[in-house]
Structure 1
């Protein structure tokens, strides 16, 4: 899920991370995106606004990484709020420092992807550092911004139960974290790698079975966190 109800989902180009399991390598570089304006995007959203609002939905900004373009993202969120639309921001939190308080004031929900709770694993899995994401999570609590945590379950990478338990305890302490979505690793983006002529790093990695996935969800629930 990318937020409550039916969503208009906008993919923004550009991302500072290179997650080994990324399903959207076509969004890594800003140069590969189509240039547009907030006005044009709002005009497109307006075509579906009646349907979106009737269905109790809203607008989700994802990527790539929306906070790589904070001015555009912030203005679009503001315009959506003015139009009475629910807004959600899908982010790794790695660039959370770029999100101004004003931007977050126009964000009804943050979908925060915590890719690993182990520093070394996070670095190997993404090419980035974990601390900015955790700092962003605690900042969202201070600002009272609701969040849904996302955790991609990758066998051999993010399935260590001790580390899952540590993350569950951290999430349980986040007063505005409403739920955790445990997302089983998949290979649906493999064809994109082929089309781009780049190797898919986890092509031969197994996907989690339903028992493993439910076991990880149960670890979050044991800490009082709603997990799906």
Structure 2
């Protein structure tokens, strides 16, 4: 969300409904929620006397299903479709804080190319900002994290990429978080979309990425 597909409006709309139902401050919850798995957010904000119930797979699926089915306001980040069609299937992965059901659903809804490697919060229980997801994605591609480039729109995801020792962590300034927060988290450089980049697959299999000059 916010990197290939922008569903910020959808996510915020459903968290606002949840906050109103549970008398939780929406502004406080949303200020730290972007890029984090639902389980992590619930663990922080759910009523303490019902926490065990709220952390069950059944409750989390019930929480995420309406979000996964909602497409109102969903936007494909410019250049994302072209990038995924261009990259060889052995060269990229998606690491997301969404559950597997939701992630697969978004690719179907947008008709974006399905990732050859998909790492979701269903498989990774220590979510962003910890590096587990990116380390797993690199391993499944047969690569070292140091040979990978990360694109992230949220501070928690950027910190995860930095912690995984990715070669470069691009910050996607798509509105999820202020540009200053992306920089503070460790993103360098910052881009608006994939249209800001020239990307070329070299003969030896490596990928060359450069910023377009104005």
Q: Same fold (TM over 0.5)?
A: no
